[in-house]
Amino acid sequence: MGSFGNGPAGDRTGPHGIGGGGGGGGGGPAAAVDKGVDFANYFCTYAFLYHQKEMLSDRVRMDAYYNAIFQNKNHFLGKTVLDVGTGSGILAIWSAQAGARKVYAVEATKMSEHARALVKANNFEDVIEVIEGSMEDISLPEKVDVIISEWMGYFLLRESMFDSVICARDRWLKPTGVMYPSHARMWMAPIRSGLADQKSNDFEGAMDDWHCFLEDTRISYGVDMSILTKPFSEEQKKWYLQTSLWNNLHPNQVIGTAATVKEIDCLTTTVDDIAEVRSNFSSIIKCNTRLCGFSGWFDVHFRGRMEDPAQKEIELTTAPSVDNGTHWGQQVFLLNPAVAVSEGDEVDVSFAMTRSKENHRLMEVVLDGRLKQSSGNLLQPFRKLFYVE
């Protein structure tokens, strides 16, 4: 899904939806969202075809959705389907190709016009109805058998598009209906990475440059701006040391056992269930190295429902990979400084992720941790705040 990041290196911009589309206004239990501001910051990203092309070029994700649909035609043949955030309309077209009787393709942006053109060019005008509008505002003439959506953002929940999918489910899914995907999991594991040293050096360089700027301004223009050093330092610290990074990690950078921090059943999960995620997990270090931080990723599954299971379960994972992985990559939360660890050491972490008060589509993560050496010694605990922007 979409991205809000800007500034120095670290975040990739652009939408993450397979159709690339926006589903709705999100929101959840927090204060009401200004739809105009939300559209300007979020949905407008999805109206550009070059963003659609980037997402549609993610073969891992495309193959997962394609296989989920065409290896489970029993869920689509003769059925009604709702595609939340259809973007270019490809999931709607695949649903029609798999035999759906009717597909409602909802898209919040002007990408809907391209979706209609694509539907017409592929001769599915009699099956697929493209509806422009937010999921929270539109109405359908009937309940649906299937809700399909590519709603996942960085570290699964960034962007809060799942709110719109939940809204669609509660309003329009039949009691016997299925969700595509049906389940999701969030993972975390300790990692090693040269980014820890790089970001620390970048922060120090920014501060050195600031002090040179202060001196030059004082000498050249007779103004002492040193009173601004503290807020400047806090600003740079947030960007370089507290903002999580997008990265495609190699599996050998994962130095400990991975742990599940959240499991989601898309059929029953509520907005309250995902607005705040808390978990305690432990990881055993697998080698002698440096603990440079933690990585977060997710996977989703297409299982159908207990009463109507998928004929072939499909998994889409964004775990560290030996190839290029997916466009989602992983979110990296760096520790500063890194800590020397040995095989057999244990890291105990309390994880909390909440939505940003300033922007409900962005996240804040707190990691409270303690390292216990295999000898039994306890090292200094750490507490770190990160921004998933």
Annotated catalytic residues are: 150, 159
Of 245, 389, 247, give the one whose Cα is nearest residue 319.
247
Contact yes or no for 165/266 (Cβ under 8 A): yes
Q: Which two tokens stand for residue 53?
A: 């092309």
Contact residues for 53 (Cβ-Cβ < 8 A; gap 6+): none
CA atoms of 68 and 72, how far apart (whole Å): 6
Of 340, 344, 355, 357, give the one whose Cα is nearest residue 388.
355
C-alpha separations of 136 from 3, 84, 140, 178, 381 in Å: 21, 11, 11, 20, 44
Q: At what angle do helices 90-97 and 111-121 cross, to 10 degrees?
A: 30
β-bridge mates for residue 365, sequence order: 353, 386
β-bridge mates for residue 378, sequence order: 372
Contact yes or no for 378/371 (Cβ under 8 A): yes
Our separate counts of H helices and E strands in the chain read 9, 15
C-alpha separations of 174 from 143, 145, 168, 179 in Å: 6, 6, 11, 11
